[in-house]
Chains A and B, each alone.
Chain A
Amino acid sequence: MRIFALVDCNNFYASCERVFDPSLKERAIVILSNNDGCIVARSNEAKSLGIPMGAPIFKQKAVIKKHNVAVFSSNYQLYGDMSKRVMDSLNLFTPDMEVYSIDEAFLRLDYLQPRNLHEYCEIIREKVLQWTGIPVSIGIGPTKVLAKIANHVAKKQTDGVFDIQCLQKQDEILKSLDVDKVWGIARSWSERLNSMSIYKASELRDASPPIIRKHLSVVGERILRELKGQSCIDLEAIQPKKNIMSSKSFGKPLTKKEPIEEALSNYAARACEKLRKQNSRAQAVHVFIQTNGFRETDRQYNNVITHTLTTPTSDTRIIIEAAKFCLSRIYKHGYRYKKTGIMLLDLIPISLEQKQLFVDFDHRPGDHLMKVVDHINKDHGPDTLFFGAQGVTRAWKMRCGSRSPRYTTQWDELLMVC
């Protein structure tokens, strides 16, 4: 029988901030989205103040002031590095793991057969806390869906670990859990289930598999079987991404084409870096541009365009050219633009590349140049070397007014102790 553990970092972003600033320990913390617009993460204290997830920060100004809530811009360099540390620490306990998100991982523990599973997970938890400073909760179950549910319960346990394998306890929990809280049940699905008088997780578990399959496809049936304790979804190996997206909102609305082009070139360069990191080339680019839909007084315009490349490439110069060409086709004068972005499509691993019959393209000079660029930027920090199209002043850049220091990735922002 399989045994899964879902390890989930508690209030991950807020916890990362606390590791390097202990004075934040019992203080309410909120973290803002890219561009400092909305609240994307909260500490427990902030949750109990009733500050909602996703709320625009300007609407929460009063609560924040009254309760001295600490407000941070998101510091993805720090969160990314701390996530890697948590995952690396977990990896020491079992090689069978799947990093599911920045703050969650599934582990398989049945191969290890620890004598006392609960105790073993407590040790994992203690070690991760000591090594990284990040508190985690661990849910144990015979399937991934059940492990995920066990994790909800673990969050409320004092020792942060909960094992849902005991059938009696399992039944109690599933009977009180709303079906939309089950992993994989999207809103539209839970509405459909409700219309079939299925409201609780236990009712989905006890429903007829063929009927669920008819309504929610084989994916829905798999969730049902997982609720029954039959493991259908194993750990997934990380696969190279099929598309790469890079896009952000501007710090302020832009009307002229040049700064938008500059921003887009930056996102293109970033996307190409990711593309080369996974040893792939793109066969098409997709560019979009948007005005701010929330500003009802503004005239609205959104457009997208996809452009096929003659030869698959990972050369930033070619992709930037293509992106600029796309933009010139969809940009219209007279609008206040909020956001642009690029998606690289139809990615193929370099190892599977097909030689073309009529186009004889030599990738070597471009590959070599890109390798040098990546190498320099890796050793000396991002953007040490960049392309002219990316611009120098970058006035369109996102706001990140209250970002904490990038303690673990920048030499001049290290933690200071006296």
Chain B
Amino acid sequence: MIAVTSTALKIAKPCPLPLALCHVEAGFPSPADDYMEGSLDLNEHVIKHPSATYFVRASGDSMIGVGIFNGDLLIVDRSLEASSGKIIIAEVDGQLTVKRLLKLNDRFSLQSENSSYPPIELQEGNEVVVWGVVTHVIHDLL
């Protein structure tokens, strides 16, 4: 979590959490020193294309089936190609919405992950305007 909350979308900035730490006391070096591997950076795990990655806030309950709850943070990568089955941010009537993209019999639809919302069927010839592909959800447990 520290990696993501530490700074305002400074994606490229690493936020290292040391894998091992050795306090040299009285001159005995740690036997682990030779095995130090550097640090883990959560940004590295969730952000593959920094200049194309945006953080977006989810609102509402239409996607709870896939684990996206009201107020969750979505990591969106615009560089990825959208394909059937992916969770995407799409443009519908001038609004941005998060839905699952599905292709059935050559027709695209945008599915909610909550049975109380009907799918948005796209008319033939109408293309889905994809804003980006959602790669991760960050859900606060506290």
B58 touches A417 (CB 8 A): yes
Interface residues of B in 38-88 (CB under 8 A from A): 49-52, 54-60, 62, 73-74, 78-79
Instruction: Give complex CA distance A410, B57 in Å.
Output: 12
| B135 adjacent to chain A (CB < 8 Å) | no
- Residue interface mask A71-105, B partner, CB < 8 A = 1: 00000000001001110110000000000000000
CB distance from A127 to the nearest CB of B (A): 8
| B116 adjacent to chain A (CB < 8 Å) | no
B98 touches A379 (CB 8 A): no
**A379 — which chain B residues lie within 8 A by C-beta?**
6-7
Please give me the residue from chain A that is nearest to B93 by CB atom. Answer: A23
A22 touches B91 (CB 8 A): yes
Interface residues of B in 91-117 (CB under 8 A from A): 91, 94-98
CB within 8 Å for A418 and B129 given contacts A85-B51, A381-B8: no
Number of contact residues on B: which range applies?
A: 20 to 34
User: Total number of A-B contacts with CB less than 8 angstroms?
Assistant: 74
Interface residues of A in 134-161 (CB under 8 A from B): none
- Residue interface mask A375-418, B partner, CB < 8 A = 1: 00011010000000000000000000000000111110011111
**A417 — which chain B residues lie within 8 A by C-beta?**
56-59, 74, 89, 96-98
**B49 — which chain A residues lie within 8 A by C-beta?**
131
Instruction: Give complex CA distance A362, B124 in Å.
Output: 73
Instruction: Give complex CA distance A315, B50 in Å.
Output: 33
A408 touches B9 (CB 8 A): yes
**B56 — which chain A residues lie within 8 A by C-beta?**
414-417
B78 touches A132 (CB 8 A): yes
Instruction: Give complex CA distance A414, B72 in Å.
Output: 11
**B6 — which chain A residues lie within 8 A by C-beta?**
379
Instruction: Give complex CA distance A85, B50 in Å.
Output: 8
**B131 — which chain A residues lie within 8 A by C-beta?**
22, 133
**B50 — which chain A residues lie within 8 A by C-beta?**
88
B54 touches A25 (CB 8 A): no
CB distance from B21 to the nearest CB of A (A): 21
Instruction: Give complex CA distance A377, B55 in Å.
Output: 21
| A168 adjacent to chain B (CB < 8 Å) | no
| A310 adjacent to chain B (CB < 8 Å) | no
CB distance from A234 to the nearest CB of B (A): 26
* Residues of A bordering B, CB below 8 Å: 22-23, 25, 81, 84-86, 88-89, 127, 130-133, 378-379, 381, 407-411, 414-418
Given contacts A22-B95, A409-B9, A414-B55, 17 further A-B contacts (CB under 8 A): A22-B91, A22-B96, A22-B131, A85-B51, A89-B51, A127-B79, A131-B49, A379-B7, A381-B8, A407-B54, A408-B9, A414-B57, A415-B96, A417-B56, A417-B97, A418-B60, A418-B97
